[in-house]
Structure 1
């Protein structure tokens, strides 16, 4: 009889352990799902902003224009990596705009339109900011909230001409990052020094040279918050609507094939086709 009681007690103990284990699994699943969502938050100042499942703001880094994360080591204490696997997307977001890269530290990171995504940790201790906060916006003029409707974004990187040489912001050979405008997908924008205020002096009437320096025709929507949208305008170029900035007509360079390429800065010689940033003088 004693052996029978011991066997019954053992069976009850095993059943209890199985029940506890099953309950533990049920509790873990929702936590995993909670991180697999990318939403939109409507900020009163900044408009639509990408967030995680809990409404915490996501950011992009101007230095990452080439598509890989350049936030390394201690930088990640203030700007932790965001990663959501097979994320559910809020209405208005397109799955084709999202991707995944592997950070140099081995971590997976979600990208949006090629830009790696981050959180902001104000104290630099990895503790991310509260939901609905956008305190990291424009930090160092290189960190910006991720938005679904950017037309113009800021890049900050080394200028490298088509000749393979590195250039500074004054178009002399040398090392150092320069800030410049790119479109939402990281393609560089230029001006032509022979243009004048609201006048395109480059494009042929039949657009036969447009493949070399295509005119920039995108309708301006959201821009990085450190850029004044009022500085943009448009002109008519043989029936095409070209965007201007401070009166300068804007162009792409046809040979810029990769994100962040700045090959045009050395064509046909350095400084003839400068990059664009908010510090350029208005056209005359």
Structure 2
């Protein structure tokens, strides 16, 4: 019998260590070797991992989407009932299919029900319906950055609990949404729809959709505040040539994108939290293929401690400014000596450091 030597244990151990080191180096190249790299998921150092949903977390799992009762409950799942979970800091996700959608702090879609009413606020979802569509408690909910806080309210349910409302519409999650970004409840039973930040039905390129009372909002509301509609030829992130600042980054709506000099790229960290985010909403994740003229190195997202995901260029966190009212505005430039328009390579335009 021919004997093949596998080498000494020490030699094999050294080879394994070299291979592991090479794999780690491969994972840490997205943000530039000169300044070290973020973890593969881009999570803040010391930040808790975001909630991922799934069984046992209050979102339920659902076992069907029967629409005979308009609830989409089917056989349902009782996991959602009795485990109402605070939405925390609300956020707005820009969905290519649904338009602007309001989510909870973990990125789970919030929904509204056509059989409810907004004037006066009233929820008609209970028992089996509530198992499939867990209610969103009013307590602890905070308006999404850039959204009018006065739109948030509450409605008393039959059991005495208080449910979150947006412009009078009671808010729910869907038990079958098990991952942040899921919107499996959209259109279920012809009565359930993802909610827009103003409480209307989410709709691409519009401020809302026809509400439960048949009032057509749709295109009449689109662009009323400077235009939420995204031009067909405009990328999620692109650039424009500003007459004073030169080439700067803009989002899918043409709004100027900014950098905050108190942030850091390594470790990837945002110094803008709490009230700061109301004035400086984060730029949500953008597909790398949905960009034009933007540096691809370090074009990654990271998980903020508040549960939001934020886009970066060269690992620098990106924001927009609530004080910019229309495309082309650069009212955030130089604010506080720390906020500057972002260049295509992620640098802060005009910053002295």
Q: TM-score range by the shorter chain?
A: 0.3 to 0.5
TM-score normalised by L of structure 1: 0.41
TM-score normalised by L of structure 2: 0.34
> Which structure has greater helix proportion?
1
Whichever of the two has the greater Rg, that structure is: 1
> Which structure has greater strand proportion?
1
